[in-house]
Amino acid sequence: MTLLDPIPVLPADDVGPVHFIAIGGAGMSGIAQLYAERGIEVTGSDQADSPALRRLAAWGIHTYVGHRAEQIGTARTVVVSSAVRESNPELAAARDKGLLVWHRSAALAALMLGRTAVSVSGTHGKTTTSAMTAMMLTAAGADPSYVVGAPLQSSGSSAHLGAGSTFVVEADESDGSFRQYPTSVAVVTNVEADHLDNWLTPEAYAAGFVQFCSSRTVRSVILDADDIGCRRLAASLQGGLSPVTTVGESESADIRLTDIVDSGGAARATITWPGGTGELRLALPGRHNLHNAAAAFAVGHHLGLDPVQLLEGAARFAGTERRFELVADVAGVRIVDDYAHHPTEIAATLKAARAAAGTGRVVACFQPHLYSRTRDFAIEFGRALAAADIVMLTDVYGAREDPMPGVSSELVVTAAREAGADVRYVPALIDVPAALAAVAREGDLILTLGAGDITTAGPALARLLEAARG
């Protein structure tokens, strides 16, 4: 995959019928849902059945399991994700017919035209921050449209077509597609090297955020004052046309967090903004989530919304799927699933888990995502995982990549052991639930970590523990 350059887009109402390849993905399914809500004829396909496909049926969307050329039907536009290869028969048929082929970011940009677009990006925390932003704006009466990267716990949906003038999106930087959106308010949670398979160098990756925040449509930028990558980004934006608002714990932050408490699976802080102060309360653990919420608050403050209502929305935010999501609590063992797939994300998640676990052990089961990321960050993964009491590794989830010679989860196993971790290597994912059940004991908090199919291990472990309990 290579970086995507922005392209001109037509209004969404002018491009139907639309066929989505890989329609079951969290982001893709949300976009497809909004097209259907707009009254546009939508079809789609994915390689396997899923709850997302079944949810889409409720919107009148006909979906297919498997990919065949004839399934594009009468579509005028075909939408793909970066994971779809040119060899896909539906994509090949669309090219042969000369149909309009859009990356999903272009399809989303078409929906955003004419709205005040809030685009939330960053190396970590995009999904949670964009979801928090959507929910806090909703609580303040703005009724925004939104598309985020995971279904919200409160609704089971990753998208909503609102009556308000604001459109909140999770803006993916991995392939450069965040530059596609007609962004008015640009939010960056943090900047740390990642996705070097596309960007090649940390410098190029950081420069992409400068481009994102310097787009001709951007009217305001919101950055985290405590993140070194954001501080460098702010320096690069000095003298630009868009004012920068900073959030965080730093004394220099425009919207500041103080008196932080993070324990027992929840977090709170005093938040101070120009002209006011209040209490920011979250039903989620983690200092990082307080930073995410501060960025979401800053969006609402910029839009002139009631700060009390924004904070009430934050307190009611129940999280999104796969972001420190409680899967089960069986026989005194809590099983939590999290999408963390970068060393910094794992470190933050384990820190939150430690606060939530109290006197119990933290058991972390990690499935590395992408061979290139495993190669680039194996040592950092090992060091981050060493914060757990027990570490379990399973094989790399390759996703869009083919295996690379000499690259496997054993690189992380070695690094974790060198960092002092108690490590178990269980290569086959099918064997992971039983291996976790064998080490589990009352009081444990067991985490399944990664962006692949490790998410299936938690429910399977819960079933084993239930059966053992009788």
Is 351 considered catalytic here?
Answer: no
Among residues 170, 173, 325, 401, the one annotated as catalytic is: 170
Is 126 considered catalytic here?
Answer: yes
Is 170 considered catalytic here?
Answer: yes
Residues 343, 381: contact at Cβ < 8 Å?
Answer: yes
Structure tokens at 452: 């692949």
* C-alpha to C-alpha distance for 320 and 101, rounded to whole angstroms: 30
Query: Residue 44 pairs with which residues in a beta bridge?
Result: 20, 63
Among residues 126, 166, 401, 448, the one annotated as catalytic is: 126
Structure tokens at 7: 């392209």
Q: Which long-range contacts (CB under 8 A, 24 or more apart) does 96-100 make?
A: 97/72, 99/72, 99/75, 100/15, 100/76
Structure tokens at 188: 């960056």
Residue type, 241: L
Report the alpha-carbon angle 257-262-264, nearest 5.
155
Residues 145, 337: contact at Cβ < 8 Å?
Answer: no
What letter would DSSP give residue 69? G
Among residues 63, 116, 127, 128, the one annotated as catalytic is: 127
E strands, 161-314, where?
166-170, 183-188, 220-224, 244-248, 255-263, 266-273, 276-282
* C-alpha to C-alpha distance for 118 and 254, rounded to whole angstroms: 19
Phi, psi dihedral angles at 406 (to 5 degrees) = 80, 0
Phi, psi dihedral angles at 247 (to 5 degrees) = -130, 155
Q: Which residues have a catalytic role annotated? A: 126-127, 170
